[in-house]
Amino acid sequence: MPTEPSISRDRVFRFGPFELSEREGELRKGGVRIKLQEQPFRVLVELVANSGNLVSREDLRKKLWQADTFVDFDVGLNSAIRKLRQALGDDADNPRYIETLAKRGYRFLATVAVTAPDPPVAELAAVSVETAALRSVQPGSVAEELTTVEAPIDEPPFWRKKIRLWHLAAAGIALLALGGGLAWWVRPAATRQVTAQRITANPPDVPVTGAVISPDGKYVAYSDQTGVYIRLIDSGETRPLVLPKGFDGVPTSWYPDSTHLLLTNRERPQNKAKIWRVSILGGGPQMLLEDAQDGVVSPDGSQIAFLHVGSSDYDRELWLAEADGRNAHRLVERKLERSGKETDAWSATWSPDGRRVAYIERESVPSNSSTGDRFLVYSRKADGSDARFLFQDDRMDSVPGAYVQLLPPPLYWAPNGRLYFALQSQKRKGGHDDAIWSIGVDQNTGEAHGEPREMLRGLGWIGGFSASRDGKRLVFWRSNVSAQVFVSDFDGNSRKMSSPRRLTIDQSVDFWAADWTADSKAAVFVSTRDGMHKIYKQDLDATTPEVLNEWRKVEVVFPRLSGDGSEILDGVTDKPDDAGAPVDLMAVPIAGGAPRMMLSEPGINNLICAKPPSRVCMLNELLASGSFFYLFDLRQGKGRLVSKLPSDANSGFSPDGSTLVLVTNGEKGQMRFVSIDSGATKDVVVKDWPTLKSADWSADSKVVLTASVTSTGAPVILGIDREGNANVLLEGDRSAPIGWVVPSPDGKHGALNIMTGESNVWMVENY
């Protein structure tokens, strides 16, 4: 027997301008009924009820098509989906509501609010009539206790006799309506119906990189790789902001007049951050601050809170300046302790009265986890005094930005007195999903009150919040970008790389390229899909991956293969956030079999093996005292120390086992080559390429392959020789940043990690 379809329940779904009522079997848009046949309606209920998740074609068949009916299921389902798209005004090629997952099923994309419908007025009247008439009361029931209370002695006995039944019914309805209205206003915000509507429709190849709403609530300023735009929310009219050619600006705040904006840009090739002021009425941008980004104007327009950035992406302090950029001074300084603990100030937002600033401190300590970061939220007065800790949540996280730098967790102190932030959602494991949360903060004392409340979930991570001055509109931008594995082919003579083709096809989870099988026929990668750390391989001509191994412990070292490709090398731990906890370095036969432990020590960070005939590997340990590189034998264990750096660095070990390369300063294009035999070192500066994001060797050990960006922000793969000379082997699309490339053992292919997905602006009006 098929399972009971979801339509048997009694719910009302709201998404965008639509309302779907199971009780009435209707789809409505703006209160207007949209004609929909029964089977498409039933399919829509299943999709909406499972919003954000895959609903397979087989599940739909079992639930909605009886086994004994003689219907061509494929034709029927395809027809139902086509009719639904027509009713919703959706587009199969650029879906807003129903996404087709080839050969698997469908996923409903829009944010959905689910409520139980209020009883019809007729039912309320009937309840009131029955209550007023005091009929059919069972002895000993609560109703009997409530209805047998004697009237006060001074109440005239004729009072009840003269009131007709319909008077009681009308009074009951009125009281219920009044009570319901009051209950709606006083109930917690988390239980109110909150729906979000998308207000931009950028395709995946042109993702939104920033967005803020004007104080008067009329405009949204947003940016993408083509420029900065001003959009009139109510009409949808959009026009570009006139900026100099090559100016890549991201809007971060409005002035109170709703005609001037703050923009952040990064000037290439130095990648220098600056804050600019620009008018939407015309005229060129005015530079206010250097080595600064993410400026936020105070509610009265007199000051700017901003992040002062240093030599690295994590070197950030919170500063204040006057509205024109003058008298800049530090509010929260960066701290670096001897233990290796670093504290930086990220994300800033003003209180509604402008007297306090809330901000996030990022604490980073040498750790076994992937980042070792903790995010703590504080508030303090604008004069720097009276710092108050608000809260800390491990689900806060930074996200990869459209530019080189990371985007800090978003934070916004709204006019309603609540502080809004984003936390990784537990709704779907393995993806970059955020939920919007808020907590009340007293702007006088700077202290939090009440418990945090979740407001809205959806697919993807959230980049930032802003709200209109009247508190009626909250705007945020959301991206469902994830890491995917692509494959490119190397030209045998020029080393140039072909246009990448996608290998992994599940956009809902992250896949991270790690290595290749020994025969160069399959890429090896890792993912946390299904909430487990799993290692996969996928043949170049396959469409789905094969699981090689999975760990119930937390994986903290990217999996690699042994030089001969017979074993998977991996590091796992039970305590990823404890810097002193040991990491178990494991070897697992790729053909299957029991794992063996090779080493168990704190700080194990990476392991790379040379290819045959060499048998040597390079082990990296990251500790509070520095980053250490040791020779390592898979049977004999840790050998001699080869090199040491004061902090973490990207590194690569040449396939012939002769050379270790270290990116000593990726922001300044500095690299170091270390000879394994002699220990001799050679420092080089890669000319014209100050940003080096990775370090992997070509299969012939002649050049280092690293990800970088051009002066226009386009991602590239460079081939760098031992003299520091660089050649561009591949230039990608600005909308799809490249993390790194791992070449196959035969030198014919490269597995690239590329960030892809959609990014758009959304708005909530009932928050």
| Domains observed in the chain | 6-115 (1.10.10.10), 121-187 (no CATH), 211-478 (2.130.10.10), 482-756 (2.120.10.30)
- Secondary-structure percent of the chain, ordered helix, strand, coil, rounded to 5: 10, 45, 45
pLDDT computed for residue 340 by the predictor: 64
The stretch 308-328 carries a mean pLDDT of: 87
Residue % of the chain over a pLDDT of 90: 47
- Please choose, from the candidates 602, 605, 599, the residue with its C-alpha nearest in 3D space to the C-alpha of residue 587: 599
Lowest mean pLDDT among 49-63, 103-117, 599-613: 103-117
What's the Cα-to-Cα distance from 458 to each of 28, 52, 411, 478, 528, rounded to whole Å? 22, 7, 18, 9, 19
Q: How does pLDDT run across 98-144, given as a tens digit for each residue?
A: 998 877 889 999 888 887 544 443 333 333 333 333 233 333 322 22
The stretch 252-256 carries a mean pLDDT of: 97
Q: How many CB atoms lie within 10 A of CB 624?
A: 16
- The sign of the torsion formed by the CA atoms of 292, 463, 367, 556 equals negative
User: Beta partners for 704?
Assistant: 697, 720
pLDDT computed for residue 183 by the predictor: 38
- Rounded to the nearest 10 degrees, how much is the dihedral formed by the CA atoms of 740, 744, 748, 750? -20
The stretch 247-271 carries a mean pLDDT of: 89
pLDDT computed for residue 128 by the predictor: 36
The stretch 642-654 carries a mean pLDDT of: 93
Lowest mean pLDDT among 24-28, 285-289, 369-373, 608-612: 369-373
What's the Cα-to-Cα distance from 419 to each of 352, 468, 480, rounded to whole Å? 10, 14, 24
DSSP state of 43: H
Give the confidence band of 680 by pLDDT, cuts at 50, 70, 90: very high
pTM: 0.64
Please provide the average confidence, as pLDDT, over all residues in the chain: 82
Give the confidence band of 188 by pLDDT, cuts at 50, 70, 90: very low
pLDDT computed for residue 313 by the predictor: 63
Check pLDDT > 60 for residue 348: yes
Lowest mean pLDDT among 39-43, 227-231, 300-304, 357-361: 39-43
Higher pLDDT residue, 174 or 222? 222
Q: How does pLDDT run across 412-453, given as a tens digit for each residue?
A: 999 999 999 999 875 444 456 788 999 999 999 999 998 899
Residue % of the chain over a pLDDT of 70: 82
Higher pLDDT residue, 582 or 1? 582
Mean pLDDT comparison of 135-149, 375-389, 753-767, highest-scoring range: 375-389
Distance between CA atoms of residues 311 and 210, nearest Å: 23
Lowest mean pLDDT among 353-367, 368-382, 482-496, 565-579: 368-382
| Cis-peptide into 613, omega within 30 deg | yes
Please state at what angle helix 57-64 crosses helix 73-88, rounded to 10 degrees. Answer: 100
pLDDT computed for residue 714 by the predictor: 86
The stretch 201-207 carries a mean pLDDT of: 84
The stretch 376-385 carries a mean pLDDT of: 94
pLDDT computed for residue 580 by the predictor: 80
Give the confidence band of 78 by pLDDT, cuts at 50, 70, 90: confident
What's the Cα-to-Cα distance from 515 to each of 522, 667, 696, rounded to whole Å? 9, 26, 11
The stretch 41-46 carries a mean pLDDT of: 91
DSSP state of 6: G
- Please choose, from the candidates 753, 695, 707, the residue with its C-alpha nearest in 3D space to the C-alpha of residue 526: 753
